[in-house]
């Protein structure tokens, strides 16, 4: 189970249903009657190789709904939104099966990234509320000084 000691405003972490049997498992991700469902834009998968980092990204209007059906990732969210009660906070999540099968909903305007921490590649499922639009998001390098986070030390180092 994930323990959150601080909470970034707007993040929603939901435990997902796993229906195992001796042939494999059915893994739920998103339902249209889920309280977190907004609308359907697209669903896609992102593979992350062990030790690789994919960060930082922020969407202007998209809501991300992320789950990890294969492998294990450390997903990090940073809030730099003006007027947010959690401005300046960083929150880390460990997502993956079997013990951390959750969906993390990330609202617009939050920076996020992830790294694969399993021995094999991880697969991230993302169900967004808008189709991909390359002009709608922003990206930063993994070591961008405004983020105050070291991916390789896995720690929040504070804003500079």
pLDDT at 38: 87
Angstrom distances, CA of residue 85 to CA of 27, 41, 79, 127, 137? 34, 28, 9, 26, 23
pLDDT at 160: 32
User: Which pTM was predicted?
Assistant: 0.88
pLDDT at 6: 58
pLDDT at 75: 97
pLDDT at 156: 43
**Tell me: domain 12-156, CATH 1.10.3720.10, correct?**
no
Angstrom distances, CA of residue 9 to CA of 30, 111, 117? 21, 13, 26
| Exposed/middle/buried for residue 120 (C-beta within 10 Å: 0-12, 13-18, 19+) | exposed
CA distance linking residue 75 with residue 93, whole number of Å: 5
| Exposed/middle/buried for residue 59 (C-beta within 10 Å: 0-12, 13-18, 19+) | buried
pLDDT at 74: 97
Angstrom distances, CA of residue 128 to CA of 67, 116, 144? 12, 21, 25
pLDDT at 136: 96
pLDDT at 157: 43
Domain range summary for the chain, segments of one domain joined by +: 12-156
pLDDT tens-place values along the chain, 160 residues long: 333 445 999 999 999 999 999 999 999 999 899 888 989 999 999 999 999 999 999 999 999 999 999 999 999 999 999 999 999 999 999 999 989 999 999 999 999 999 999 999 999 999 999 999 999 999 999 999 999 899 987 544 443 3
């Amino acid at each position: 189970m994930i323990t959150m000691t601080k909470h970034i405003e707007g993040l929603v972490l939901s435990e997902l249903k796993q229906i195992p049997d001796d042939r494999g498992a059915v893994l739920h991700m998103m339902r249209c009657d889920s309280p977190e469902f907004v609308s359907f834009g697209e669903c896609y998968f992102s593979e992350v190789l062990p030790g690789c980092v994919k960060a930082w990204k922020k969407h202007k209007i998209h809501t991300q709904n992320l789950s990890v059906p294969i492998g294990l990732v450390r997903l990090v969210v940073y809030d730099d939104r003006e007027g947010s009660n959690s401005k300046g906070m960083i929150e880390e999540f460990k997502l993956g099966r079997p013990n951390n099968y959750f969906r993390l909903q990330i609202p617009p305007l939050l920076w996020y990234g992830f790294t694969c921490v399993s021995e094999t590649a991880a697969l991230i499922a993302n169900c967004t509320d808008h189709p991909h639009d390359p002009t709608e998001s922003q990206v930063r390098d993994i070591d961008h000084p405004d983020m105050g986070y070291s991916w390789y030390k896995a720690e929040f180092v504070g804003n500079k």
